[in-house]
Structure 1
Amino acid sequence: MEKQSRHIFSKFFVNLILIIFSLSCIFPLVWMFYSSLKEKRVFNADITGLPKNPTFSNYKKILTNPDYHIFESMFNSFRTTLLSVALIVICGFIVGYIIARIKFKLNRVVYLMFLMGMLIPIHSLLVPIYIVFKNTGLTDKWYTLIVPYVAFGLPIAIFLVEGFIKGIPVALEEAAAIDGSSFSRTLFCIILPVAKPILTTIAIIQTFSCWNEFSFALVLISNTKLQTVPLAMTQFTGQFASDYPKIMAAMLLTMAPIVILYFIFSKQIIKGMVAGAVKG
């Protein structure tokens, strides 16, 4: 009886801690939402209080004012993210499979070179990348950000795919070869469906990374018509004052697609992470 009581108490205590932790994660979003329904003077007078007269004027101003380029920046982020993630997943899958399955003289060297991309801080390369892009005329183009996003996204993709592929039995490919399957058919029709969990995980991780990336966008893009969502957020911050309710409204609008995407694929993300850990 005493043992059962201890078990119930420990279970209750653990659940209580998890509930408190969950609330601490959810509260910032709730605070952002009801703060976005305030006017600037009301927010400055009481930062944490609930709005007495909620208004959607901040959302209206953001959506109707052409100077904010909110829809244009969301489209730019969507296009850049979609193309970058597609290239990262496809190239990461092919290269990861080749490194995991095909043994050649420089196999480990190539693999280590890719992994070095995970160790180099992005910010240390901003200046040389800017100089290279400036001299080659690659700045302020619609495809400018795709190049660094793919370059810095490939190492983690190759690392995850290589570990996952090693856990797939080679007999599966040998059986396909006996049946007359070509290399490309085996790769895309047999291995690709099996690797779907880890590829989905890579796609979701890189989607968050590309959508929220700020450093390269700030350095390589100066044209307001090509700016991404993080750059658009800087328009609401002045030199001496900031309109925080409007900033929060803009943040919620731009966060909506990525949050919806996360909730749709949250189970797949967890499944892919677990599968990658077990297979690797």
Structure 2
Amino acid sequence: MEKQSRHIFSKVFTNAVLIIFSLSCIFPLIWMFYSSLKEKRVFNADVVGLPSNPTLKNYKRILENPDYHIFDSMFNSLRTTFLSVLLIILCGFIVGYIIARVQFKLNRVIYFVFLLGMLIPIHSLLVPIYIVFKNAGLTDKWYTLIIPYVAFGLPIAIFLVEGFVKGIPVALEEAAAIDGSSFSRTLFSIILPVTKPILTTIAIIQTFACWNEFSFALVLLSETRLQTVPLAMKQFSGQFSSDYPKIMAAMLLTMSPIIIMYFVFSKQIIKGMVAGAVKG
């Protein structure tokens, strides 16, 4: 009886802790939402309190004001993020598999060169990359940000894929070769589905990294029509004061694609994260 009571207490305590952690993660989003329904003066008077007279004026001002370019920035971020993540997954998968499976003279050298990309502080390369891009005429293009995003996303992708592929039995590929499967067919029809969990993990990491990236976008883009979401958010802050309810309304609008994507693919994301962690 005592053992059963301890088990119940332990279960209740664990659930209570998890609920508290969950609420701590959800509350900021809820706070942002109801704060976006306040007027600026009401928000300044009571930051945490609920709005007495909720209004959608902040959303209306953002959507009706063409100077904010909110939809253009969302489209730019979606395009850049999608293409960057796609290239990172494709190139990371192919290179990671070759390094893990194909033995050649410079195998380890190439692998460690890629790993060095994880050790170099990204922001220390802002000036050199800007100079190279400026001289090459690559600034202020729709594809400008894709190049550095892929370059800095590949090392972690290759590292994760290489480690995952090493855990896949070689007999799987040998059996495919005996059946007459070509290298490309084995790679994309057999190995690719097996590595889906780790590729999902990479996609999650890189999607948030590309969507939220600010430094390269600030340095490499100067035209308003090409600005991404983080750059668009900068214009809502003034030099001496900020309209926080309007900022929160803009944040919720720009977060909506990521939130929708999460809820649509939540099962696949959770499966991928769990499976990738167990495999690794």
Question: What TM-score does the superposition give when structure 1 sets the normalisation length?
Answer: 0.97
Which residue is equivalent to 2:51? 51
* Distance of 1:194 and 1:11 partners within structure 2: 35
Instruction: After superposition, give the CA deviation of every residue in 1:11-60 in whole Å (9 maximum; x if it has no partner).
Output: 21221111111111111100000000011111111111111110011111
Structure 1 position 64, deviation (Å): 1.2
Aligned equivalents of 1:265, 1:258: Cα separation in 2? 10
**SS class of match (1:236):** coil
Question: Does the CA contact (< 8 Å) of 1:166 and 1:279 recur in 2?
Answer: no
Letter in 1 for 2:99: I
| CA deviation profile, 1:119-161 (whole Å, cap 9, x unmatched) | 1111111111111111111111111000000001101111111
Could you tell me which residue of structure 2 aligns to residue 73 of structure 1? Answer: 73
1:20 aligns with 2:48: no
- Report if the CA contact (8 A) 1:163-1:279 is conserved: no
> Could you tell me whether the CA contact under 8 Å between 1:40 and 1:245 is conserved in 2?
yes
Decide whether the 8 Å contact of 1:163 with 1:276 is kept in 2: no
Q: Distance in 1 between matches of 2:263 and 2:95?
A: 30
Spell out the pairing of 1:1-280 with structure 2 (5 A cutoff).
1-280=1-280
What amino acid sits opposite 2:147 in the alignment? V
Inter-partner Cα distance in structure 2 for 1:91 and 1:38: 46
In 1, Cα distance between equivalents of 2:200 and 2:232: 28
Aligned length: 280
Local SS of the residue matching 2:206 = helix
Contact 2:200 2:273 in 1 (8 A): no
Report if the CA contact (8 A) 2:37-2:51 is conserved.
Answer: yes
Q: Deviations over 1:88-146 (max 9, x none)?
A: 01000000000010011111111111111111111111111111111111111111000
Give the Cα–Cα distance (whole angstroms) in 2 for the partners of residues 194 and 254 of structure 1.
34
> Mean Cα displacement is larger for which, 61-70 or 169-178?
169-178
Q: Normalising by structure 2, what TM-score?
A: 0.97
The whole-number CA distance in structure 1 between the counterparts of 2:215 and 2:31 is: 27
CA RMSD of aligned residues (A): 1.2
Identical amino acids, percent of aligned pairs: 86
AA of the residue aligned to 1:207: T
- With over 3 angstroms needed to count, the CA separation of the structure-2 counterparts of 1:268 and 1:214, relative to structure 1, is same
Tell me which stretches of 4 or more aligned residues in structure 1 moved more than 6 Å.
Answer: none
- C-alpha distance in 2 between matches for 1:148 and 1:181: 36
Structure 1 range deviating more: 233-242 or 179-188: 179-188
Residue segments in structure 1 that go unaligned for 5+ positions in a row: none
Whether contact under 8 Å (2:198, 2:272) holds in the other structure is yes
Task: Output one character per residue of 1:143-184: Cα deviation in whole Å (capped at 9) or x when no partner.
Answer: 100000000110111111111111111111111111111111
Moved more, 238-247 or 119-128: 119-128
| Unaligned runs of at least 5 residues, structure 2 | none
Counterpart contact for 1:145–1:216, Cα < 8 Å: yes
Matched residue SS, 2:235: helix
